[in-house]
Amino acid sequence: MEILRTIESYRELYVDLQGPIGLVPTLGGVHEGHLSLVDAAKKDCKTIVSWLFLNPKQFGPNEDLNSYPAEEKEDISLLDQRGVDILLIPKTIDIYPSDFDTVVKLGKITELLEGSRRPGHFDGVTTIVSKMFNIIQPDRAYFGEKDAQQLRVIQKMVKDLNFPVEIISCPTVRDNDGLALSSRNKYLSIVERNDALSLYQGLHNAKASFENGERNADIVRNVVIQEIKKSPLITIDYVSLSDPLSLVEISGKITPPALLSLAVHIGKTHLIDNVLLE
């Protein structure tokens, strides 16, 4: 794997790269979820480029930027072993020089769910993803379904702004006990991790009730809430049942497909998860 640290060095290589080019972006804290994106990219791309950048603009002032569990050496080795061809690790000063003054900002879709709890978060994501697409110029870019809203926001940005990139969504990877993989799982104590299992359990129970014919949105949301409430360490930020594209909340009767998503705090750790009801 070729490790590059400047945009210029990537540009030099880019002219000779064999397409299709698949891009797997990460903030660091690489885990099996990211590596499953590499696997997916390897299936349909000739060159796999990964991007490792802890983007400060997508973290709020009271969020975990300074403690984010990114271990560069370990991240490099995992991406290398999984078959990434080129890894770009840009410097913050190159990405955001002192006169940087642009924000790529989407509308309503970024104000809902995570956006309502983390003001400015999606502006940080869409700004860096726009820069990343312009720098890497991939044919396809791979994103995990665990970050369901991020995926929708990026799909919308690509459509609205005509980015010549195909967005490929890949299924959430879970531990054997159902916990969705997340870089932030590293923060959890053993007791907290055990409580966190109620997230998937709640989603799983709600999906089962939907599959057994329940179509009342409040009842389905409530199945998740009641399961999570059994875990004393968890504070619920939201449990949402929304249209999977607009993310607008469903009231009354569910007409599938619908996105059942949640965000919680366990101690200081912010976790999200979701399932699609089809």
Candidates 106, 125, 181, 258: give the one binding ligand PAF (CB under 6 A).
125
Residue 22 contacts ligand PAF per CB under 6 A: no
Instruction: Name the minimum Å distance from CB 15 to ligand PAF.
Output: 25
Q: Check if the beta carbon of residue 262 is closer than 8 Å to that of residue 199.
A: yes
Q: Name the pairing type of β-strands 166-170 and 2-4.
A: unpaired
Instruction: Name the minimum Å distance from CB 29 to ligand PAF.
Output: 8
Tokens of 10: 């990537």
Residue 55 contacts ligand PAF per CB under 6 A: yes
Residue 26 contacts ligand PAF per CB under 6 A: yes
Instruction: Name the minimum Å distance from CB 233 to ligand PAF.
Output: 25
- Is the Cβ of residue 53 or residue 200 nearer to ligand PAF in the bound state? 53
Tokens of 97: 């020089």
246 Ramachandran zone, left/alpha/beta (phi>0; psi -120 to 50)? alpha
CA distances to 73, 130, 150 from 272, in Å: 27, 24, 11
Based on the residue annotation, tell me whether 34 is a catalytic residue of this protein.
yes
- Is the Cβ of residue 50 or residue 240 nearer to ligand PAF in the bound state? 50
b/e per residue 194-209 (b: at least 16 CB within 10 A): ebbebbbbbbebbbeb
Residue 259 contacts ligand PAF per CB under 6 A: no
C-alpha–C-alpha distance, residues 144 and 258, integer Å: 18
Q: Name the pairing type of β-strands 269-277 and 140-144.
A: unpaired
- Is the Cβ of residue 113 or residue 125 nearer to ligand PAF in the bound state? 125
Q: How big is the CA angle at 104 (ends 98 and 109), to the nearest 5 degrees? A: 145
Instruction: Name the minimum Å distance from CB 106 to ligand PAF.
Output: 14
- Is the Cβ of residue 58 or residue 269 nearer to ligand PAF in the bound state? 58
Residue 25 contacts ligand PAF per CB under 6 A: yes
Residue 138 contacts ligand PAF per CB under 6 A: no
Alpha helix positions (H), the chain: 7-14, 32-44, 72-82, 92-95, 113-117, 121-136, 148-160, 190-211, 217-229
Point out the catalytic residue in the list 34, 121, 204, 270: 34
Residue 112 contacts ligand PAF per CB under 6 A: no
For ligand PAF (CB under 6 A), the number of binding residues is 10
170 Ramachandran zone, left/alpha/beta (phi>0; psi -120 to 50)? beta
- Is the Cβ of residue 128 or residue 181 nearer to ligand PAF in the bound state? 128
| Residues at the contact surface with ligand PAF, assessed by CB under 6 A | 25-27, 55, 58, 125, 128-129, 147, 150
Which residues participate in catalysis according to the annotation?
Answer: 34
